[in-house]
């Protein structure tokens, strides 16, 4: 990703214009992907293209210097500092005032943490711990994209040291060592996306094989030179383009799927001789020009997009994001000319190596110090009115129950003897349990809670494509069977974010397919069939065991964090009415669930309407008359929201239990 084409005159690396053109092919899809253009659904693979290019160019330089006995770790790190830090520092400086003006306290605290992480080149670790790359909240993190810089910097720190010590064993053995490292890293990434997707995406061990692929290509070119093959060059280009337009957020990444763009780049490096058609196209002025500014363009685009999304109440329209994409290239050209290029030249104040390291160190210390202060002071919360801070940090209710692990099972309440009812469901059931727990502290009743996040309260039900909490299904079914067989429990309450199991995840970026009784449902649009059968089986089981069944209808959902959107609307003086959603959207979202529920007679299955507390005849509102959020995110009720319904919910349950 970093600009490496302009090298000192005595460098052994021969300039290849097509490599700069390849950078353009990488950065433009990344920008358009982050801008939200669905055509470039796999544009994120541009980062992987950058990784391979970096591995190739850095290894080529290091091999030449080692062969000429003129390799110096200090010189290497000086070159990295000159090429990477000036533009990065400039972008970070520009971000700070906009973050100060526009970010809520919680957002500025996160931003402050990212300043610290970027300063120590560990932002990939920070963002791994915070949220997924494709999560909606990630779109408002101005420095999210620096995770890839951190991966490269970690490679730059360790790889030259490895080469320095391994070179004594001979170039051939070093080559095979790198091949072995690549195989291990690829195998780790293949394991990682199945077991810890976030860590797999962000961390260097599962990304290293992509950089090593470039290193392997560098060894081959060093020995055999760049070969001319229009066929292989076109095949490499086709592989990259295929992944850009065919991959999407659901593609496991990195994994063997990443071999397509990675090997595509390797083929171009090995076979795109300057006489090939692909090299001639990539060497045109447009491609090379964008390639020259690609590092700055990469740095600029994400802060521009993030701050636009922060400042606007709704998602920016496509033409606005396209305009910002063009602006990012324009700003990148200015940054390349006035920031990148001057600092690469060993003239004037920065001619001295000690000055480069000293200024870099002091600047990193300043950013880290400022970020640490922002973290300690909760995002400098005194910037904002106290009411906004209270809305911004509206959190989930804190409960003393046993909500932990895949499926929790506990009894809540102080009444001795048999429990009055069982409450079973996903995280929404856990939220209702909090409200009922408050009531149990002053009332003489107890209940059994069975709850697991993303775990539908159904039997004969499991995820088909592995994109869900697959470990919960067996546990949930066993517990439902246990409750059904417990004669002391007369009433069973089922609660869930029901539409997740029919239509799919509320943000539309995660669509799980399910299976019923070992019969796979391979298409999301067939989820209704699987859900209908599983729901019928579950209710029929409970009714056959003489249980009274109560279904808590779904809560209105929102595709945004209600506290943050509400605070932002107040901060920027937007109309609060824009946060409402039409009642018809609520019914449209849950139409399949209501179709299934309507199959049961009201005398068999009682229903408790949640929407009645938050919706009128036309709209559902996510905030109270006092302008306090009913939710702590986009779908889980806050303490304020639960207070509206907790009394009537308990009354309905206890009435049905008599």
Calculated CA dihedral for residues 264, 268, 269, 270, nearest 10 degrees:
100
Region 237-242 average pLDDT: 97
Cα(636)–Cα(564) distance, integer angstroms: 14
Q: What is the per-residue pLDDT for 3? A: 36
Yes or no: say if 225 and 270 are a contact pair by the CB < 8 Å rule.
Answer: no
CA–chain centroid gap for 597, Å, is: 34
Question: What pairing do the DSSP bridges indicate for beta strands 421-425 and 491-495?
Answer: parallel
Region 40-69 average pLDDT: 95
Region 469-478 average pLDDT: 79
Binning pLDDT at 50, 70 and 90, where does residue 9 land?
very low
Q: What is the per-residue pLDDT for 8? A: 32
Region 148-159 average pLDDT: 95
Whether a cis peptide bond, with omega within 30° of 0, leads into 254 is yes
Tokens 């009922």 sit on residue: 436
Share of the chain above pLDDT 70, in %: 90
Which H/E stretch holds residue 550? strand 548-552
Cα(292)–Cα(233) distance, integer angstroms: 22
Which H/E stretch holds residue 582? strand 581-582
Is the predicted pLDDT of residue 511 greater than 80, yes or no? no
Tokens 């003006």 sit on residue: 101
Alpha helices in 341-413 (DSSP H): 341-344, 353-376, 386-392
Burial code (b: 16+ CB inside 10 Å, e: under 16) for 304-326 equals: bbbbbbbeeeeebeeeebbebbe
Which H/E stretch holds residue 520? strand 519-520
Region 297-304 average pLDDT: 97
Alpha helices in 120-207 (DSSP H): 123-130, 146-166, 171-195, 197-202
Kindly report the average pLDDT of the chain as a whole number.
89
Is the predicted pLDDT of residue 479 greater than 50, yes or no? yes
Q: What is the per-residue pLDDT for 484? A: 95
Integer CA distances (angstroms), 415 to 411, 433, 445, 446, 481, in order: 10, 16, 5, 6, 24
Yes or no: say if 608 and 649 are a contact pair by the CB < 8 Å rule.
Answer: yes
Cα(377)–Cα(656) distance, integer angstroms: 50
Is the predicted pLDDT of residue 435 greater than 90, yes or no? no
Higher per-residue confidence, 510 vs 407: 407
Higher per-residue confidence, 583 vs 470: 583
Cα(605)–Cα(607) distance, integer angstroms: 7
User: From start to end of 101-185, where are the E strands?
Assistant: none
Cα(88)–Cα(79) distance, integer angstroms: 15
Cα(435)–Cα(356) distance, integer angstroms: 59
Give which of 625, 627, 577 is closest to 394, Cα–Cα.
627
The two tokens of residue 17 are: 């214009």
Give which of 495, 491, 399, 481 is closest to 446, Cα–Cα.
491
Longest dimension (CA), the chain: 90
Binning pLDDT at 50, 70 and 90, where does residue 12 land?
very low
Of the candidate ranges 298-302, 348-352, 429-433, the one whose mean pLDDT is the lowest? 348-352
């Amino acid at each position: 990703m970093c600009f490496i084409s302009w090298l000192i005159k005595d460098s052994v690396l021969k300039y290849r214009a097509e490599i700069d053109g390849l950078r353009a092919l990488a950065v433009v899809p990344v920008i358009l992907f982050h801008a939200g253009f669905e055509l470039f659904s796999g544009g994120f693979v541009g980062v992987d293209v950058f990784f391979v290019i970096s591995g190739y160019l850095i290894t080529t330089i290091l091999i030449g210097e080692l062969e000429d006995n003129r390799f110096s770790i200090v010189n290497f790190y000086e070159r990295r500092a000159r090429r990477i830090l000036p533009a990065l520092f400039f972008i970070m400086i520009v971000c700070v005032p906009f973050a100060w003006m526009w970010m809520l306290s919680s957002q500025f605290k996160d931003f402050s943490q990212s300043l610290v992480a970027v300063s120590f080149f560990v932002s990939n670790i920070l963002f791994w711990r915070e949220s997924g790359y494709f999560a909606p909240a990630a779109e408002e993190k101005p420095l999210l994209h620096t995770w890839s810089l951190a991966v490269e910097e970690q490679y730059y720190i360790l790889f030259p040291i490895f080469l320095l010590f391994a070179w004594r064993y001979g170039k051939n053995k070093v080559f095979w060592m790198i091949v072995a490292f690549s195989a291990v890293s690829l195998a780790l990434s293949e394991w990682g996306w199945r077991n810890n997707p976030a860590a797999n995406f962000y961390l260097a061990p599962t990304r290293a094989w992509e950089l090593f692929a470039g290193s392997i290509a560098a060894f081959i070119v060093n020995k055999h030179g760049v070969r001319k093959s229009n066929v292989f060059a076109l095949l490499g280009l086709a592989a990259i383009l295929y992944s850009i337009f065919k991959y999407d957020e659901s593609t496991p990444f990195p994994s063997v799927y990443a071999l397509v763009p990675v090997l595509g780049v390797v083929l171009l490096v090995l076979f795109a001789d300057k006489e090939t058609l692909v090299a001639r196209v990539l060497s045109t002025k447009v491609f090379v020009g964008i390639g020259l500014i690609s590092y700055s363009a990469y740095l600029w685009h994400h802060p521009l997009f993030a701050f636009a999304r922060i400042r606007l109440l709704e998602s920016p329209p496509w033409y606005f994001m396209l305009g910002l994409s063009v602006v990012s290239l324009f700003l990148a050209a200015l940054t390349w000319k006035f920031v990148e290029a001057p600092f690469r030249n060993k003239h004037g104040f920065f001619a001295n190596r000690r000055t480069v390291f000293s200024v870099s160190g002091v600047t990193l210390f300043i950013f880290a110090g400022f970020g640490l202060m922002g973290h300690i002071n909760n995002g400098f919360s005194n910037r904002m009115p106290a009411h906004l801070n209270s809305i911004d940090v509206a959190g989930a209710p804190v409960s003393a129950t046993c909500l932990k692990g895949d499926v929790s099972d506990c009894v809540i309440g102080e009444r001795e003897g048999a429990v009055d009812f069982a409450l079973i469901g996903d995280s929404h059931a856990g939220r209702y349990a909090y409200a009922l727990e408050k009531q149990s502290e002053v009332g003489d009743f107890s209940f059994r809670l069975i709850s697991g996040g993303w775990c539908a309260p159904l039997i004969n039900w499991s995820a088909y494509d592995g994109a869900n909490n697959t470990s919960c299904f067996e546990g949930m079914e066993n517990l439902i069977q246990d409750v059904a067989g417990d004669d002391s429990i007369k009433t069973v309450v089922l609660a869930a974010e029901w539409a997740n199991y029919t239509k799919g995840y509320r943000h539309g970026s995660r669509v799980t397919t399910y299976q019923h009784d070992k019969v796979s449902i391979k298409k999301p649009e067939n989820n209704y069939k699987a859900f209908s059968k599983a729901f019928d089986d579950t209710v029929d089981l409970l009714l056959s065991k003489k249980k009274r069944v109560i279904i808590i209808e779904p809560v209105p959902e929102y595709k945004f964090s209600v506290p943050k959107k509400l605070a932002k609307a107040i901060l920027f003086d937007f109309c609060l009415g824009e946060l409402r959603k039409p009642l018809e959207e609520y019914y449209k979202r849950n139409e399949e669930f209501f179709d299934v529920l309507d199959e049961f007679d009201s005398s068999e299955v009682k229903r408790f309407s949640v929407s009645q507390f938050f919706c009128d005849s036309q709209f559902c509102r996510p905030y109270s008359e006092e302008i306090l959020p009913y939710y702590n995110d986009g779908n889980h009720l806050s303490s304020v929201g639960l207070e509206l319904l907790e009394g009537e919910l308990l009354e309905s349950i206890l009435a049905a239990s008599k």
